[in-house]
Each structure stands twice: as structure tokens, then as C-alpha cells.
Amino acid sequence: MADESPVLETARRDLVRHIQQFVAILERNRRQPNRREAYHVLVALECLEAGNHEQGEAAMRDAGHLVALPAPVAGLQGIHEKMTTQQLSGRLADILDRSAP
């Protein structure tokens, strides 16, 4: 991470914070993410891992606004169906561990 520009580091840090805050709100309200929320957070995590912070932020906005699932995904059962806050936090931690210097 040391070789990233300050702008990229800030964008990455903001996305991580956004994901953490979203999961913390769910936990504070003692509920698990619904399938739409889980899907969009999983997309944001994939974007974080790929370094696509802008798309990750868009996915987090979609999670917060409960944007409908994309048509090809809407009828499918997937990991977003039964995702828990603990699993989302674990995936974030794994990504952060893998990207640590």
C-alpha cells in the first residue's frame, strides 16, 4: 500500500470506513443484512479488493438505498441470500490482511 498515491489511499480508506460503518449499523440494530444489502456490500468488497474504489462506493450507496438486485441476479440464490454481518466483517478483514504490507 505504501506505493499508492495519497488520493488512492484516501479513496480506499473511505471505502473501508463506509463498509465498516454499514455493518456496524446493522449490528447496532441487531439485524442481519437482507439479500439486497448483502449483495451490494459483497460487490463493494470485490471492488475494494480490485482497487476500484469508485465503483465500491457506488455499491455501498446502493446498499444503503436498497437498490434492486440486477435482473440476472434477482432470481438466483447465492451467497447474498444468507450472509451475516459476521461474514461480511470477516471478508473485509481477510481483504485487509491480504493487502497489508
34-81: pLDDT as tens digits:
999 999 999 999 999 999 999 999 999 999 998 998 888 877 887 777
Give the residue extent of every domain in the chain: 6-99
- The pLDDT of 23-33, averaged and rounded, is 97
Per-residue confidence (pLDDT) for residue 51, from 0 to 100: 95
Query: Sign of the C-alpha dihedral, residues 90, 66, 24, 35?
Result: negative
Per-residue confidence (pLDDT) for residue 95, from 0 to 100: 96
Name the packing angle between helices 35-50 and 6-28 (round to 10°): 160
CA distance 15 to 44: 8
Per-residue confidence (pLDDT) for residue 57, from 0 to 100: 98
